Amino acid sequence: MAMKTSRNQTKHVGSSPKNGKIRVLILIRHAKALHRDKARARGMKDSDRPLTKKGIFRFTASLPSRIREIESTKIYHSPFLRAEQTAALICDQLKKLNSKCAPKMKALPSITPMSNPKFLMKKISSGAFMEPVAMIVSHEPFISNFLELAFEQKYRNEPIKKGAFVRILISDELKFRSYQIVPSISSEET
């Protein structure tokens, strides 16, 4: 069993299956969006806050190294604009890195900031997200709450920073094996 480290944090739970396939679920917190106060002043709903130019730049600058090995995937995202825009950035970058890659995007209304992560847990346990790699673009506290549910006491609840990836390994038996938090190029929240 490995312990978490400060930057690229890995937590192993149990042993790896000997001859089973490992699936990868990648949870991604959306890139930096327009601040809530500014959006409110403009009469925008929280769900309509777009990504900022700075957020787009920082997120896309770190994408190639984080998704290079991914050939094809489905990208699920919250219906909130900032998550959809982040998913579109990933989709575009996957196509640039591999011309044969044809990722598909799909909105999931059950992965908004305050959604209950038990729904996602049930979907995974029922065999949903059976692709070798599935990506889910969501929000805090949803991602932290999901990790706490999936890894129980083995996860120290700490917020996932904007633009960060959390790679989760899932065995054929649909058991969560480990997770790794991969910060964005700049984990600055402002």
State residue 44 phi and psi, 5-degree precision. Answer: -90, 150
Report pLDDT for 186. Answer: 54
For residue 34, what are its two tokens?
């327009």
Cβ(98)–Cβ(68) below 8 Å = no
Cβ(134)–Cβ(143) below 8 Å = no
Bridge-based pairing of strands 23-29 and 133-138 is: parallel
CATH for the stretch 22-168+177-182: 3.40.50.1240
- Give the integer Cα–Cα distance in Å for 148 and 153: 7
Half-sphere exposure of 58 (CA within 13 A, CB side): 21
Tens-level pLDDT at each residue, the chain (190 residues) = 333 333 444 443 333 434 457 789 999 999 999 999 999 999 999 999 999 999 999 999 989 888 887 876 789 999 999 999 999 999 999 988 887 778 899 999 999 999 999 999 998 888 787 788 889 999 999 999 999 999 986 777 778 999 999 999 998 888 888 999 998 765 444 4
User: What's the whole-model pTM score?
Assistant: 0.86
160 - beta bridge partners? Answer: none
- Give me the sheet containing 165-170, strands edge to edge: 9-12, 176-182, 165-170, 23-29, 133-138, 74-77, 104-107
